[in-house]
Chain A
């Protein structure tokens, strides 16, 4: 694939990520931060997020599963953090699920929490895959550029 085609693909994929609601404006903000000094800044941030979020997910699961008395306050705290983190790079759907989860939490709706959490994990994993693909494409286009 020549450079132009790669770039076109990158642009398309990016657009679809936005159109499908996976990403929001904040992602643009991050992209604007990229410069020569940090050409892969967004990728780094996303990587960082996913390494950190694994911990979040684990904590939340621990707090929720097999627990007779769920500590909603703690769950809410975790989720608040998770929400802040995911929104920082524009993970729109993930953020939405976080809000949903927090609502269930405040309502004490454990069923809702479990269900929402499942959905959240799904969105979380989906976005990860998509972004992985996207960044790979970006790299390829970038390499193609340098040729």
Chain B
């Protein structure tokens, strides 16, 4: 008995014809395994189960397939041990980017490995050799996931089922945070349209918000606010104007608060206000290791504005400074709003935040002439990290089908960050390249800005080939199973060559893909790098945290300085297409999800220690489950669900994208976005 709800606006299967009626017949399965024998057998088994099968022998190819056609698959089955990418990484990425159910399989049946599958979010784990009976019921995972998402949507008050992507994302977020919705809402109501930061004490335990402020959503929001007039914009009216199903007044209210903060910061109305707006960023900067004094100031303002949990702020500071200079008392109230905001777009935030944070930190230091305790190198590192993170974010955003604007934003940020880095530290030599190449940011693959430029072009080209390759790859892959054993010659030449050649084909393709720009590779590399950096010290982590929290930093940047806006604009103008961004996203994602290879990411994006730093933090954030309320604290201190982080980051990116929608306002938007995070 199949739940026909499955076909009702189901996210991924709606597009496939015939699925709804005969489910699970026609279930679209993507199988990833580097072992050709297993791949062929699985494909055959799945076909017998009447599923629609796509074979893939490389994780990267699988990812590109999934990215190209987000709604083209219902479920993914992947091997654990693969040469080009760890199966668990792929699992995380898929969970973050496409949110598809993923089944892991391996000849390894050790408890640890199975546990790893569980913790990484696999919906099932199959031991090889796989029997067809095990595959017959995999459709249950698809149904279950949809059911859970629908439930979340309903819980969030949305009437729509299987709505748009945003809804889905919201649901995903909601899924984990639905329990907290009530308390969060209450606290939000109190703060609604209030511009006081001090009240942000609650919801420190809030989980990820359910609403994901994607670029489009934010654009709608901004449009509505502008239409009403910023002074007259009240959540209720904004909600009506936006007319987004599933969005609640509370969502809008909190977002509005952040937005107001951002605007205030931009206008530089008052130091305090801007401080508040930037507080988050400042704080992050502080954590960076900017100045202890600055830290204190930043932290306070940041805390106030962003409601950063004292704990997290302290952590950030300590992290940033690489020392435990955490202020004993964090006056700032818990920034649940900010956290929420972050969570809403955690993805965006992380990337952005990091970048911004870094950038901001730098900028602030530079601009205000505040003595920075942080060594330039450290700052540079941070920036780099931020940048890489930013690029990651951008990628994430891009990945999330965000417009290129986000990318641009990211680029901008990165550019800014980069510029700042350069300014602040002699390390960053790439200022010009960064400016001219927003993509660079996005291109994590390119450690050096110059490289970025290269990556840009490479990406552009790389991307296309990839897609092409993937499509072509599919073909051979799919047809491989058809190989007719013309001549049975187990070891004989005639039969074998044909097989091998076929088998080779996909590999070649992947190399092709990599060739042009290593498009896919970069992401993968970053991913692995992240992992490497995982073991970085706490400092980095903290720094990362600040980054995360540093959506504000973006805003801070804008406040800080014109140069950054210039950079931002430059970045903006030179921002790359979404395609690129997409790549980045992919890359960023891995970074995020991997939460490990920070190094790699850093190295790739900027090749700067800062990036590493940033990436590491970013990674950490990702790996840890960050409760909404204390994004920062939890990020580093606790184990965050990678999925949460990833989604947070992605959301952040989305937000950023949204913010960056307006060209002229690139900086503004971008920054503003981060500001939004800071509850006023």
Contact residues of A with B, CB < 8 Å?
Answer: 26, 29-30, 32-33, 35, 38, 40-41, 43-52, 54, 77, 80-81, 83-85, 87-90, 128, 131-132, 135-136, 139
Contact = CB atoms under 8 A, between A and B. Distances in A.
Which applies to chain A's interface (DSSP): helix, strand, loop or mixed? helix
B40 A81 contact: no
B299 to A, nearest CB: 45
B55 to A, nearest CB: 12
B132 A132 contact: no
B57 to A, nearest CB: 11
Contacts of B483: 44, 48
Given A52-B500, A88-B129, 5 more contacts: A85-B38, A88-B37, A90-B129, A128-B491, A135-B488
A26 B36 CA distance: 16
Nearest to B41: A88
B44 A38 contact: yes
A38 B503 CA distance: 19
A80 B81 contact: yes
B159 interface: no
Nearest to B108: A80
Contact of A84 (B38, B131, B132): B38
Residue of B34, B41, B48 most packed against chain A (CB within 10 A): B41
B499 interface: yes
Given A52-B36, A52-B37, A88-B37, A47 B128 contact: no
Contact of B40 (A32, A45, A132): A45
Contacts of B44: 33, 38, 41
Nearest to A135: B488
A40 B491 CA distance: 17
Nearest to A84: B107
28 contacts: A26-B131, A33-B45, A35-B48, A40-B484, A40-B488, A41-B44, A44-B40, A46-B490, A47-B489, A48-B483, A50-B491, A52-B35, A54-B491, A80-B81, A81-B35, A84-B38, A84-B79, A84-B81, A84-B129, A85-B35, A87-B107, A88-B41, A88-B128, A88-B129, A128-B490, A132-B488, A132-B491, A139-B488
Contacts of B38: 84-85, 88
Q: Which of B48, B107, B130, B495 has the most CB of A within 10 A?
A: B107
Among B38, B489, B499, B503, residue most surrounded by chain A Cβ atoms (within 10 Å): B38
Interface string B32-64: 001111101100110010000000000000000
Contacts of A136: 488
B126 to A, nearest CB: 12
A66 to B, nearest CB: 23
Interface string B113-134: 0000000000000001111100
Contacts of B19: none
A90 B131 CA distance: 11
Contacts of A44: 40, 483-485, 499
Interface in B346-403: none
B485 A43 contact: yes
A30 B41 contact: yes
A89 B79 CA distance: 16
B500 A51 contact: yes
A38 B499 CA distance: 16
A50 B490 contact: yes
B106 interface: yes
B81 A81 contact: yes
A80 B80 CA distance: 11
B297 interface: no
Contacts of A43: 485, 488
Nearest to A50: B490
Given A44-B484, A50-B491, A29 B132 contact: yes
A87 B129 contact: yes
A138 B641 CA distance: 53
B85 interface: no
B488 A88 contact: no
B492 to A, nearest CB: 9
B496 interface: yes
B503 A52 contact: yes
Contact of A51 (B107, B488, B496): B496
Q: Pick the 3 closest A-B CB pairs, nearest first.
A: A84-B107, A44-B485, A51-B496
Contacts of A139: 488
Contact of A47 (B35, B79, B131, B495): B495
Nearest to A28: B131
Nearest to B130: A88
A90 B44 CA distance: 16
Interface in B490-538: 490-491, 495-496, 499-500, 503
Contacts of B107: 80, 83-84, 87
Chain A CB count within 10 A is highest, among B488, B496, B503, for B488
B496 A47 contact: yes
B503 A48 contact: yes
Given A33-B48, A77-B81, A80-B108, A40 B485 contact: yes
Contacts of B488: 40, 43, 47, 132, 135-136, 139
Contacts of A90: 129
A42 to B, nearest CB: 9
A84 B42 CA distance: 13
Contacts of A54: 491
B132 A33 contact: yes
From B48, B132, B485, name the one whose CB has the most chain A CB atoms within 10 angstroms.
B485
